Structure 1
Amino acid sequence: MSQSGLDDEELFGEAATEIRADVEDHLAAARDALPAASAVWDVEADNTLGVLNGLRTALAVEEVEEHLRDAKKWYTIGERADAFEDADDLAEEIERIEDVLDDLAEVSDAVGDLASAIPELRGELEELHAAGEDEAADEDEAAGEADE
């Protein structure tokens, strides 16, 4: 084999190692950017809407999505170049983070729906109770006039 052949093989090995390290780094950053369990469980607020808004903020995953996208990009390049001897662990980690992201997106959508619905429900209940109080006041006034 020529000297350039050895150099090419050596360079390819280095590139494969660097690609794997990039994938691992982005996966670690994606994991670190995931919300802590306590952030979605322990919420302080004065009312239901505050709890929902706090939860929606805790479920923000844009940074996770960016790191996962970069990890998948480098993983795909490494796979297509057949640069990895064994990349099953990387594929499994990518899948685990994708599954958690899917769950987070689903919960975030549900929280968003609730955050929109709760103020409407509150308004409807207030109107209904106010109308009931008005009717009761009218009945009391009519009963008072009938007694006179």
Structure 2
Amino acid sequence: MSQSTLGDDDLFGEAAAEMRADVEEHLGEARSALPDPDDVWEADADNVLGVLNGLRSSLDVEGAAEHVRQAKKWYVIGQRAEAFDDPEDLEAAIEELEALIEMVEEAHELVGELTNTMPQLRGALTDAAEAAEAASADEDEDEDEEEE
């Protein structure tokens, strides 16, 4: 084996270690960018709409998703180059984070739908209550007229 080949192998090993470190760093950053569990669970609002808006804001995972994307990009390059001795742990971590991000994104969509629906529901219920009050007032007037 020539000296340049040995040097190339050393460089490849070094590059593989750096790639793994990059993947692990992005996975750590993704975990750090996930919503805080307390922010998702606890609410500080005066009404349902305030709670929903706060929850929707806390379910933002764009930063975490971008870090997972970067981790996956470097993982795929390293995997295709067969640079990782033990790629299974990285693959499992990426899959776990992708599943968690998907769950949070689905929750974000559901909360968004509720955020849009609740004011409409309140308006419809207000209209129905006003119609019921008006009908009740009309009935009271009719009864008063019959008694006279």
Same fold flag (TM > 0.5): yes
CA-to-aligned-CA distance 1:40-59 (integer Å, 9 cap, x gap): 11111111111111111111
> For 2:44, what is the secondary structure of its paired residue?
coil
Corresponding residue for 1:111? 111
> For 1:123, what is the secondary structure of its paired residue?
helix
How far the C-alpha of 1:137 sits from its partner, in A, is 1.8
CA RMSD after TM alignment: 1.2
CA-to-aligned-CA distance 1:94-143 (integer Å, 9 cap, x gap): 01101111111221121111111111111110000001111122222333
Once residues 22 and 65 of structure 1 are traced to their aligned partners in structure 2, the CA distance between those partners, rounded to angstroms, is 16
> For 2:122, what is the secondary structure of its paired residue?
helix
Once residues 5 and 132 of structure 2 are traced to their aligned partners in structure 1, the CA distance between those partners, rounded to angstroms, is 88
Aligned length: 148
Corresponding residue for 1:14? 14
Once residues 65 and 35 of structure 1 are traced to their aligned partners in structure 2, the CA distance between those partners, rounded to angstroms, is 12
> For 1:85, what is the secondary structure of its paired residue?
coil
> For 1:135, what is the secondary structure of its paired residue?
helix
Corresponding residue for 2:94? 94
CA-to-aligned-CA distance 1:20-66 (integer Å, 9 cap, x gap): 01000000000000011111111111111111111111111100110
Once residues 41 and 100 of structure 2 are traced to their aligned partners in structure 1, the CA distance between those partners, rounded to angstroms, is 16
> For 1:43, what is the secondary structure of its paired residue?
coil
* Structure 2 spans left out of the alignment, 5+ residues: none
Once residues 86 and 77 of structure 2 are traced to their aligned partners in structure 1, the CA distance between those partners, rounded to angstroms, is 14
Corresponding residue for 1:37? 37
Moved more, 117-126 or 73-82: 117-126
1:3 correspondence with 2:3: yes
TM-score computed with the length of structure 1 as normaliser:
0.94
